[in-house]
Amino acid sequence: MEVKSSIWGSVLGHDVMLYTVYTNSGLEVSFSNLGASMVAIRLLSDDAEPLNLMYGLLQPNDYLKANYYPGVIVGRYANRIATAQFEIDGQLYQLSANEGNNILHGGIKGFSSRIWETVMMEEHNGVCLLEFYLKSPDGDQGFPGNLDVWIVYQVTDDNQISISYRAITDKATHVNLTTHGYFNLAGFKSDVLDHMLYIDAEDYLPVNSELIPTSELRNVDGSPFDFRKFKAVGADIDLVGDYYDHCFALRGHDINNPSVKLFNPNTQIGLTLYTTQPGIQLYTPIKRPNVRNPMIPLPDNGNWAVCIEPQHFPNSPNTNHFPSTLLLPGQEYNHTSIIAISLGGID
């Protein structure tokens, strides 16, 4: 395993770092302290061009212009909160709405656009550890409490990427963190409709016209949301509309059992996700990115990527029967997800 670090650029007078890990089994993974982001996952081989498995951008300033959160850590609250407000102990908190009347992925200036502090970068015994830290002050985007956040990435020589999220607060607040990766196991040379997908979920969350959950947990049986057995992403997508953008309630959310499996039958590349989070947001974007990477040509049609975002449910602060996202002083927000890349098939 080899690890390299360099200054990638500058944002608002701060150095933006790029850290790249090369595993002995042919994976190249890059990270940055801008948005504590995963910038690239590329599969290397001796006889072909590296294959991009995750979409990332070329320059730090591109990330500040992009409106689709490629590869970044989003927070304080991933996904949507209706009317950009919630109550805690009878006090109403108004948040920074950035999608109509709602707040998406942390607000106007969420964690994805911040420069994080690099706490640690080290490699030993076939494991690379990279830790980022961010302090979010009381009132940040309207959220109460001073929040300390740590993200720890671990990359192993057997092509696993572990992402640990930890946070503490000095005042009751809501926290929901995730990684917003755009995956295409064909290297973005074709759409993802032929990718085979498995999601360990009995229920999904129907949404209204603003993509806010209706508060119902609906069984997937007999619906286009049933991925309990491997099924092509595009098999039933016409019954949903043009794309998926829905949260699934995971059955086990046990770090030792797979929550999501994604497989491309043409490249024989697989991705398995393990998580302790209770939900997965499935998103297959139709819109072209507003900021592009010219080194990664996209297919002409939509559904150019699969986003599988481990998280708590959208609008949980306003939905009592959803798993709580309330974090109290003295408690610790602590979740882990693992992305495992495999070649030649998937179990």
Asked if the model's pLDDT at residue 225 lies above 80, the reply is yes
* Mean pLDDT of the 235-247 span: 96
Asked if the model's pLDDT at residue 74 lies above 80, the reply is yes
272 with 346: CB under 8 angstroms?
Answer: yes
Domains and CATH numbers, the chain: 2-343 (2.70.98.10)
Average of per-residue pLDDT values in the chain: 96
How many angstroms separate the CA atoms of 240 and 178, rounded? 24
Asked if the model's pLDDT at residue 72 lies above 90, the reply is yes
The closest of 134, 213, 119, 193 to 169, measured between CA atoms, is: 134
pLDDT digits (tens, 9 = 90+) for 113-157: 999 999 999 998 889 999 999 999 999 999 999 999 999 999 999
* Mean pLDDT of the 200-222 span: 97
The predicted model scores a pTM of 0.96
Local confidence band at 47 (pLDDT 50, 70, 90 cut-offs): low
Strand partners, 263: 196, 270
How many angstroms separate the CA atoms of 178 and 173, rounded? 17
Q: Of the listed 28, 105, 309, 312, which one is catalytic?
A: 309
Local confidence band at 45 (pLDDT 50, 70, 90 cut-offs): confident
**In the annotation, is 180 catalytic?**
yes
How many angstroms separate the CA atoms of 60 and 8, rounded? 7
pLDDT digits (tens, 9 = 90+) for 270-299: 999 999 999 999 999 999 999 999 999 998
pLDDT digits (tens, 9 = 90+) for 9-20: 999 889 999 999
Predicted local confidence at residue 34, as pLDDT: 98
Tokens of 5: 């670090």
The closest of 233, 267, 277, 244 to 346, measured between CA atoms, is: 267
Predicted local confidence at residue 46, as pLDDT: 65
Q: 193 exposed, middle or buried (CB, 10 Å; 0-12, 13-18, 19+)? A: middle
Q: Of the listed 105, 174, 180, 195, which one is catalytic?
A: 180
* Mean pLDDT of the 323-343 span: 97
Name residues whose C-beta falls within 8 Å of residue 90's C-beta, 6 or more positions apart in sequence: none
Classify residue 342 as left (phi > 0), alpha (psi -120 to 50) or beta. beta
Tokens of 270: 């697989």
Q: Give SS3 for 255.
A: coil
**In the annotation, is 309 catalytic?**
yes
| DSSP 8-state symbol, 300 | S
